[in-house]
């Protein structure tokens, strides 16, 4: 038998907790939500038999090393809705019996193995709503009893790979190891990237050397340049895949938010848009030359240059728009998924992926503008 002490919200504001030693021997649960208790190393002295401690919404910024040391029989600790940014290596020293730890809705930036090593019997850990939280492989190696982990991202489940129940569940793009999920993709992206880059560089160089003054060759040179950008994009993804091989999920969020990821996505979209534009121009140019059999050029050199420059500038504008902070595109439009689903071909997919929205309507909008403008400019 034991007692439960419930301190109503606001009753302990800016005061130090004082409970007589006779009471603490029989106290089994202590609830102090929404208070502002001044806690020192002596706060929980004598609470050896306490089994449940609720400190949520207490405005806690820091937990002193050794604060919980007397609580050797504590089973549940609730630290949710506080302002904790970091946990020291010895923060949970003494909590050898703890089974449930709630750290929901704090401001934690890092969770280390040395912090959790004092919790050998921990079975349930809640770290949701800590948007800046990060950790490295091996963080949960000493928490062998962990059965449930509630987190904000699947990458934490990959770190706690031995945990039976972990949320959120994996989505169709998630992989605990690599950016490219299988060896066939890993090989293909290198082959395609090299062929796309080298092949288009050869085409551009050959056309410039042989007949660069021809309007048709000028269009093909620009098509080669745009397609070459896709080769650059593919090689960037291939190199990143190698760099993060085996540990990609740990750094997935930082990669998606990085400038290199945004650049890769922009290159892929610019390449796709300019290629569509130039293919449309080349097709219409050939069609007009067939329809008009007179010897004079249907499209003059100056007009060809103007059409091409307008196309590059227009497509560049469409590519830059998602990078600018516009609500329609949301944050990190080019970093919605690890495999860069911002390319035109996937923009037009009929299905919506778990980590991306707006792709289909954006794809229709961009493609319609690109083809419409190219036809309008040419036929003017």
Q: Is the pTM of this model over 0.85?
A: no
Q: How far apart are CA 105 and CA 84, in angstroms?
A: 9
Q: What's the mean per-residue pLDDT of the chain?
A: 80
- Tens digits of residue pLDDT in 265-291: 889 989 999 999 999 999 988 888 888
Name the token pair of 361: 């309507």
Residue ranges covered by each domain of the chain: 1-170, 183-379
At 378 the pLDDT is 40
- Tens digits of residue pLDDT in 76-131: 999 999 999 999 999 999 999 999 999 999 999 999 999 999 999 999 999 999 99
State the CATH class of domain 1-170.
Answer: alpha beta
Distances (CA, A) of 345 to 82, 130, 213: 45, 35, 33
Residue of 262, 273, 188, 187 lying closest to 230 (CA atoms): 273
At 130 the pLDDT is 95
At 363 the pLDDT is 45
Domain 183-379, architecture per CATH = Up-down Bundle (1.20)
Mean of the pLDDT values across residues 251-276? 87
């Amino acid at each position: 038998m034991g007692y439960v002490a419930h301190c109503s919200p606001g009753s302990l504001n800016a005061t130090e907790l004082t409970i007589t030693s006779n009471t603490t021997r029989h106290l089994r649960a202590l609830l102090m939500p929404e208070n502002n208790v001044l806690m020192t190393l002596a706060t929980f002295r004598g609470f050896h038999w306490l089994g449940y401690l609720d400190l949520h919404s207490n405005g806690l910024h820091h937990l002193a090393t050794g604060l919980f040391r007397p609580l050797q029989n504590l089973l549940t600790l609730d630290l949710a809705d506080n302002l904790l940014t970091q946990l020291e290596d010895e923060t949970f020293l003494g909590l050898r019996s703890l089974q449930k730890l709630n750290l929901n809705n704090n401001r934690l930036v890092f969770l280390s193995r040395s912090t959790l090593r004092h919790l050998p019997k921990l079975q349930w850990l809640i770290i949701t709503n800590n948007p800046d939280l990060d950790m490295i492989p091996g963080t949960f190696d000493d928490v062998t009893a962990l059965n449930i982990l509630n987190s904000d991202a699947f990458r934490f489940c990959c770190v706690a790979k031995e945990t039976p129940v972990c949320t959120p569940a994996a989505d169709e793009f998630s992989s605990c190891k690599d950016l490219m999920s299988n060896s066939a993709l890993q090989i293909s992206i290198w082959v395609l990237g090299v062929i796309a880059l080298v092949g288009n560089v050869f085409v551009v160089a050959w056309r410039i050397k042989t007949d660069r003054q021809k309007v048709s060759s000028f269009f093909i040179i620009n098509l080669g340049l745009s397609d070459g950008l896709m080769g650059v994009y593919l090689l960037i993804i291939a190199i990143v895949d190698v760099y993060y091989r085996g540990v990609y999920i740990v750094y997935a969020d930082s990669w998606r938010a990085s400038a290199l990821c945004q650049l890769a996505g922009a290159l892929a979209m610019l390449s796709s848009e300019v290629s569509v534009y130039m293919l449309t121009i080349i097709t219409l140019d050939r069609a007009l030359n067939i329809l008009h059999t007179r010897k004079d050029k249907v499209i003059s050199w100056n007009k060809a240059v103007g059409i091409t420059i307008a196309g590059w500038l227009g497509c560049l504008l469409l590519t830059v728009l998602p990078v600018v902070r516009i609500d329609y595109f949301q944050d990190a439009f080019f970093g919605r998924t690890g495999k860069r689903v911002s390319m035109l071909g996937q923009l037009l997919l009929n299905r919506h992926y778990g980590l991306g929205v707006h792709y289909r309507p954006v794809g229709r909008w961009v493609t319609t503008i690109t083809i419409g403008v190219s036809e309008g400019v040419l036929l003017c």
